[in-house]
Chain A
Amino acid sequence: MKKFNRWFGKNLIRIYAVMGFTYLFIPIVYTFVFSFNDYVRSNLVWRGFTFDNWTDPCAPLDICPALGNSIKIGLIATAGATLLGTLIAFALARYAFKGRGIVNTLIFLPMATPELVLGASLLTMFLDLGFNPGFWTIVIAHVMFCISFVVVTVKARIASLDPRLEQAAMDLYANEAETFRRVTLPLVAPGIAGGALLAFSLSFDDFIITNFNSGTTITFPLYVYTHAERGLPAQANVIGVSMFLLALFVVLAGQFVGRKRKVSA
């Protein structure tokens, strides 16, 4: 008993870690396993192993156009939110203007507001302005709620930037534009990249706000939701797992590049 107690005390952290990761990963493992299910109509019961879902992910009607929409919306919204968010972040981090405090607080509002309220209000607004809900209203809505996340990420990076580096660049004959291009931007870039990744994954994932403002456009989350009642094809799992692996690859690649930069050259 004493021996067990000592072992338990020594490995407590490990036991916690295993439990924590199990909790996090079981749903993902489940999704992964069921992407190989030889399903009929509904993908709820295990019926046997097959590669068919992976070799033909576009088999179910509408699934690939929905995925295409999600990717297109994600890319456009990411580009817009990253550009605007980065500019806002520079303004907030660098310039002391009247009302900076208020803007700093307001920028958090879209993060804090319940998505249902945002979605419903946006729909009301679009209809009042005479916009037909569809692809572009989704893009506008996504840019709006992604900006806050980009601003927060990029601002943190700018705040950690030593202002003396820019002064040193100016001291070494770089004018304002060159200083920004050669020193500021490369150093803030990891923050911008992080903000962009966050924006894309938020946009790709979003269901609630999209559902209000989509009109007849179907995105991947909308497809999954509408088909969940009737029986979701295993191809949805295939796409989900693929996105997961893609994200994992991006993160690992980022870390690898970061480490390589530090160690060599």
Chain B
Amino acid sequence: MSDASTSAKGDLQLRNITKTYGDFNAVDDLTLTIPEGSFFALLGPSGCGKTTTLRMIAGLEEPTAGTIHVGSTEITDMKPYRRPVNTVFQNYALFPHLSIFENVAFGLRRRGIKDVKEQVDKVLQLVELPHLAERKPTQLSGGQQQRIAVARAIVNRPALLLLDEPLGALDLKLRRQMQIELKWIQTEVGLTFVHVTHDQEEAMTMADTIAVMNEGRIEQMGTPADLYDNPQTAFVANFLGQSNLIKGNVVATDGDSHTVDLFGQKVKVNKNRSVARDSSILFGIRPEKIRIQENSHTNSGCVLEGGTIVDVSYIGVSTQYQVEMPWGQELMVFEQNDDGIPPLAKGDSVKLSWEPVFSFGLNGHEDASAGSEVNPTEDE
């Protein structure tokens, strides 16, 4: 049967998907399973292949190699209009010559459904815009257009809803509100959402599972908390939030922890939190996990001494410090302003400390700056 637009259900499976443009591998041997009913985010910087992946699932691009399945139905070579997939486009792509009602009814009508009114009204209720049914898309605000674009897609109850940077055109406040709303709609309708974004905060807020993409491959996949706490690569550590990554050597292993030498100072990292393959290690610690104190202080946990504050930014809830270490590297420290102690000043000598459970270890042969150079606000 060639028309799966209503019948196919189940997990989305991409197997060895590759998309090549000339010599450039936009998507490189990607294998991925997205469970039915989940809210899945493909997160990555511009040009990482996430939108190309989405367009291949929608049928708007053909993969150079590999297969795509929904449940047991293969959809790799199916025309877009035969797939059980609907897309919310980046700039919504509402039909300007049709009313909101007709925009939402478009998919139903094309599938030969005669009585569309009840379903359209219901989905307009869901997005809370039933009073705009007779308007034209240009008469709606950005946020309203966005909700209509979602309504136009979910009214068809596809096996998969694809969202291509759906909130990219909205201002920050509206974006926050829509993040919550989209998440709520997803829970309400129970469809599988595949969300493409370059905004790590958006992905973390909404998705159950995030796949971080870089240069056509998946760097790491997991829950937001898992990705943040246990990054496996320097790219993930830097792209999701910020990280201090320090080159070092594993000099001893006792019990569950490695002892790591960082330019002459010894720190510890849990064995199962390190993915270093040999003694060369990139030692990682998140800025908000570090305590910063004057040199005279005594500390528990891991300690790095000999820092000098080179920059202080006070940002209300926290103070951000740039601390230059004896080996020349600048480390970042975020200190909550919750102890009534005035912030330290530029030029102060400090030591940094943290609980060993917070540190992680990456493969020491990686580039410590991977993923920190990309501009996360740039549009694709």
A contact residues vs B (CB 8 Å cutoff):
162, 164-165, 167-175, 178, 182-183, 186-187, 261-262, 265
Contacts and interface: CB of A to CB of B under 8 A. Distances in A.
Contact of B138 (A169, A186, A262): A262
6 contacts: A168-B94, A171-B87, A172-B156, A174-B106, A265-B99, A265-B136
B134 A265 contact: yes
Contacts of A162: 91, 93
Given A173-B81, A175-B79, A262-B138, A168 B111 contact: no
A165, A167, A171, A178 interface centre (most CB from chain B within 10 Å): A171
Given A171-B86, A171-B87, A164 B79 contact: no
B152 interface: yes
B97 interface: yes
A175 B138 CA distance: 25
A173 B110 contact: yes
Nearest to A263: B139
Contacts of A261: 97, 136
Contacts of B106: 169, 172, 174, 182
B80 A170 contact: yes
A164 B93 contact: yes
Interface string B68-90: 00000000000111100111011
A173 B5 contact: yes
Contacts of A265: 99, 134-136
A165 B87 CA distance: 12
B95 A171 contact: no
B231 to A, nearest CB: 35
Contact of B93 (A165, A173, A174, A262): A165
The 4 nearest A-B residue pairs measured at CB: A172-B107, A173-B110, A168-B93, A164-B93
Contacts of B94: 168
A172 B86 contact: yes
Given A186-B97, A187-B96, A265-B134, A173 B91 contact: no
Query: Which label, helix, strand, loop or mixed, suits the secondary structure of the B interface?
Result: loop
A203 to B, nearest CB: 29
Interface residues of B, number: 31
B60 interface: yes
Contacts of B95: 165, 168-169, 183
Given A173-B81, A261-B136, A265-B134, A164 B99 contact: no
B246 interface: no
Interface string B131-170: 0001110100000000000001100100000000000000
Contacts of A175: 79, 81
A189 to B, nearest CB: 9
Contact of A168 (B89, B97, B134, B156): B89
Given A167-B87, A173-B107, A186-B97, 12 more contacts: A164-B89, A165-B93, A169-B106, A170-B60, A171-B81, A171-B85, A172-B81, A172-B153, A174-B81, A187-B96, A265-B99, A265-B134
A261 B136 CA distance: 8
A173 B89 contact: no
Nearest to A261: B136
A167 B106 CA distance: 13
A228 to B, nearest CB: 47
Contacts of A173: 5, 81-82, 107, 110-111, 156
B58 interface: yes
Interface string B297-311: 000000000000000
A167 B55 CA distance: 10
Contacts of B156: 172-173
Contacts of A186: 97
Interface string B327-343: 00000000000000000
A128 B86 CA distance: 59
B91 A164 contact: yes
A167 B94 CA distance: 11
Contacts of B58: 167, 171
